[in-house]
Amino acid sequence: MDKRPTVGDVADLAGVHRSTAARALNPATRSMLSQETAERVSRAARSLGYRANSFARGLRTNRSLTVGVMIPDLNNPLFPPIVRGIEEALLPHGYTAFIANTDNDPVREAVHFRAFLSRQVDGFLIATARDNDETLDEVARLGIAAVLINRTNAQRELPLVSSDNRQGMQIAVDHLVAVGHRRIAHLAGPTELSTAVVRLSGFKEAAASHLLPQSQTPIFACSGLTEQAGEAGAATLLSTRPDVTAIVAANDLIALGVLRALAKRGLNCPNDMSLVGFNDMRFADAFNPPLTTVHVSHRLIGSEAARLLLERLVEPHAPAKTMLLPVRLVVRASTCPPRACYS
Amino acid sequence: MDKRPTVGDVADLAGVHRSTAARALNPATRSMLSQETAERVSRAARSLGYRANSFARGLRTNRSLTVGVMIPDLNNPLFPPIVRGIEEALLPHGYTAFIANTDNDPVREAVHFRAFLSRQVDGFLIATARDNDETLDEVARLGIAAVLINRTNAQRELPLVSSDNRQGMQIAVDHLVAVGHRRIAHLAGPTELSTAVVRLSGFKEAAASHLLPQSQTPIFACSGLTEQAGEAGAATLLSTRPDVTAIVAANDLIALGVLRALAKRGLNCPNDMSLVGFNDMRFADAFNPPLTTVHVSHRLIGSEAARLLLERLVEPHAPAKTMLLPVRLVVRASTCPPRACYS
DNA sequence: ATGAAAGCGCTAACAA
DNA sequence: TTGTTAGCGCTTTCAT
C-alpha cells in the first residue's frame, strides 16, 4: 500500500504549482485556468489515481459533505425507505450519510450525536421520536443545521417533514364510518412519542367530526409502537370493550399485534373486527388478512427532508419550512361492515 | 454559532501547553502526565464543551474511525438487522458507519465506493452480491481492509462472514422429505448473485443425499431474489410441473411471491403445496400462512463481520478467516405432508 | 512531566 | 492566468 498521491504530486507531474493543481481539480475554480493547464493537471491526476484527502480539505473548508441521520430503529420497515430517499437526494450533491439507530434511548442518542459532531457532519436529519429531546436542545445551542423527520417540532425553529397524520386519521375513520362502524377504538402509542400524540389527537378530531361520542370511541394506549405492545393493548381492549367493532391502530406494527391477539382468541378479521393500520409499511399487504392502512410515501419523506437540509446548509437563516406530505387510504381485506350495526 | 473550542483553548484555560492538553485528552498518552494536570485539563475541556476535530486528527493519524458499509438494498429486511449488528460491534470501539445502497448496480456501487474512499474510511464491509466485482478488484489493488458479508469470496484473500447456506438447504430438504415429499422444486435466484449460486448447489447436494433423481427435483431460476421474480418463477413452475408437491425458495421474498402465485390460482399452502423459505426475515411469521423457513441470525452476521474488520485494522496481514454461521429450521404453517404420496 | 516546533494535505487571500 | 504563503487543529518527535 504505497502512499496516496497528493496535490503536490499531481502538480509536480503536470509541471505547475500546487495551488494551480488544486484549482484545476476543483470544478468551481477550474474556469480560472487556461484550458490547456487544466487539461494537463487532470491528466496527471488521473494517471496517478489522485483522490483528494477529505481531512485536509475539511480542515480548511470546515465542510465534510457528510450528514448524520438519527433514527430509532432500522428494523422498523418505515425507515429503510426513508433512508433510501435521503441517499437518493444527497448523492447527486456529493453528500454521504452516517446512520445511527437510537432505539429512542436518550443515552444511545447522545453517544451517536457526539460521534457525529466530532466527525464534523454538516447537518442532521433527525427521525427519533422522543418529545423531550436533549439532542434538539444541543442542536439549537450549537446552531447546527438540522431537519426533523416524522415528528413534531416542539416549539423549535427547525424544518420538518412528516406525513399528514391528522388527515390520515380522518380518512381512516371516514372509511370505517362509511362501511357502517359506530364503535371504533383507537390503539394509541405511548405519549412520549410525538407521532403517537398527533395521531391520537387526529383520531379524536375525526371521531368528533362524525359526532361519535367518546363513550363509543375508547382509546387504549400501547407501551410502544411495536407488535408486542399492540398485542398487549389489543388484549386489554378485547376483554374490556366487547362492543367495539373496529380498531384504528397508531401504526402497522400495532395493527399486526392486533391481528395476533384476534387470532389467539379465535376472532376473525375483518368479520369480527375491522382493523386499519397506519404507514402502509412493506409487507402490510402480505399479512393475514392484507391490511387496510393509511399509505405514506416514506421514500419521499426522506428525499424531501434531505433536500430541505441541503437548502439549509446554503441558507442557514431562511425561515424553517414545515412539509406535510399527503396520505391516502389503501383498502385491503382487514375492513368490512360490522356484523351488527348499532347505529 | 460561536467557534468551536480547540486544544489551544483548553490548554489556555488549564494553563498548560497545547501538547500537554492534547496528551491529557488522549487516553493512551494520559498516563504520561501528572494526575493533577490531567484532571485540570479534563475539567477545562468539559467546561468548554471541547470536542476533538476529527479532520485535524485524521490528517495527522491517517485514521478516520469510520467504515463504509455497502449493501444492495436496505428495503430487503435482511439488511437492517445486519446493519444493527455492525453498529453494535463498532460503537464500543469508537467507529461509525457510512451506509450505501447499491441495488447491485455496478455504477452506483462505484460511485459510493469512491465517495467512501475519499472520506478516508478505514475499512469496508461489503454485502453486495455481484460475482464479478470491480469493487473487490479495487479493494485488493489499494490494499484496503475489507470484510465480505453474505456472499462468496471469489478466490480473494478477504475475510468472509455468511450463514451456512449448504447446511440450510440440507435441513430444508430434510424436513420436506421427512414429512413425505419426493417431488421438490427449487426456485433459485439469478446466477449472478453468489448467494443464489451457493443455495442452488446446496439444494442439489441435499436432493442427492436423499437419492431424489433430478427429474423429481426441478430447478427454476428467478430473475432476482425478489417477490416479483418469485411470483413469476412460481407461475412457470406451477404450469409446467403440476406433479411437484413442495418448493424450496432461495429466500423468503421469493417464497412470498410463491404464496401470491398460489393464491392467484386458488391453491392452498400448505395443503396443495408445501413451501420453505430462507432467512427467516422479519414478518415471515406474519405471512399467510406463516412461513416455514431457514433461520439465519443476521444481527450476528453483522456484528461478527464488524469484529473481523476491526481485527483486520489492527493486523492487516493476518490470514483471512471465513465464518459460516449456523442456521436452523423454523417450522411454521407453510409445510405439511403431501396430499398424495408418490414414494 | 512538560514545552517547543514541525507538519499532515489542502484551500484561499493576496501578489504578481 | 499563475505563484506565494499562511494556516486550518491536531499529534508527535525531540528537547528540556
pLDDT bin (cut points 50, 70, 90) of residue A343 is very low
Cα separation, A138 vs A154, whole angstroms: 14
- In sequence order, the β-bridge partners of residue B70 are B100, B126
Quick check: B1 pLDDT over 60?
no
Quick check: A342 pLDDT over 60?
no
**Which among B73, B80, B142 has CB closest to A75?**
B80
Confidence at residue A340, expressed as pLDDT on a 0 to 100 scale = 64
Cα separation, B71 vs B125, whole angstroms: 8
> Which strand C bases fall within 7 angstroms of a protein CB?
1-5, 7-13
- Here the cell at position A252 is 402497522
Please report the DSSP string for A161-182 in residue order: EEE-HHHHHHHHHHHHHHTT--
Looking at CA atoms only, how far is residue B304 from chain A in angstroms? 18
Quick check: B247 pLDDT over 60?
yes
> Once rounded to an integer, what is the mean pLDDT over residues A28-39?
86
Check: CB of residue A119 under 8 Å from CB of residue A66. yes
Using the CA of A36, give the nucleotide whose C1' is nearest: D1
Q: What mean pLDDT is reported for chain A?
A: 93
> Once rounded to an integer, what is the mean pLDDT over residues B182-203?
96
Check: CB of residue B176 under 8 Å from CB of residue B183. no
Among candidate residues A75, A61, A59, A1, the one with its CA nearest the CA of residue A26:
A61
Q: What mean pLDDT is reported for chain B?
A: 94
Q: Which residues make Cβ contacts (< 8 Å) with residue B315, sequence separation at least 6?
A: none
Confidence at residue A31, expressed as pLDDT on a 0 to 100 scale = 85
pLDDT bin (cut points 50, 70, 90) of residue B292 is very high
Q: What percent of chain B has pLDDT over 90?
A: 80
**Residue B207 phi, psi (nearest 5):** -60, -45
B228 near A CB under 8 A: no
Quick check: B134 pLDDT over 80?
yes
Number of H helices, E strands in chain A: 12, 12
Q: Which residues make Cβ contacts (< 8 Å) with residue A27, sequence separation at least 6?
A: none
> Cα B325 vs. chain centroid, distance in angstroms?
12
Q: What is the pLDDT of residues A157-184, one digit of tens each?
A: 899 999 999 999 999 999 999 999 999 9
Cβ-based contacts (< 7 Å) between A 2-41 and strand D? 16-20, 23, 32-34, 36-38
- Here the cell at position B205 is 447436494
Cα separation, B123 vs B64, whole angstroms: 10
A179 near B CB under 8 A: no
> Once rounded to an integer, what is the mean pLDDT over residues B160-175?
97
> Once rounded to an integer, what is the mean pLDDT over residues B314-331?
94
Please work out, in degrees rounded to the nearest 5, the angle formed at the alpha carbon of residue A181 by the alpha carbons of A177 and A184: 95
Range from A100-109, A314-323, B151-160, B284-293 carrying the lowest mean pLDDT = B151-160
Cα separation, B112 vs B246, whole angstroms: 41
Angstrom distances, CA of residue A200 to CA of A220, A259, B330: 10, 20, 37
A59/B64 CB distance under 8 A: no
> Once rounded to an integer, what is the mean pLDDT over residues B15-32?
88
Using the CA of A57, give the nucleotide whose C1' is nearest: C10
Quick check: A6 pLDDT over 60?
yes
Q: What is the pLDDT of residues B48-100, one digit of tens each?
A: 999 999 999 999 999 999 999 999 999 999 999 999 999 999 999 999 999 99
- Here the cell at position A104 is 429512542
Cα separation, A35 vs A57, whole angstroms: 24
Range from A201-205, B141-145, B229-233, B273-277 carrying the lowest mean pLDDT = B141-145
> Cα B80 vs. chain centroid, distance in angstroms?
9
> Once rounded to an integer, what is the mean pLDDT over residues A239-256?
98
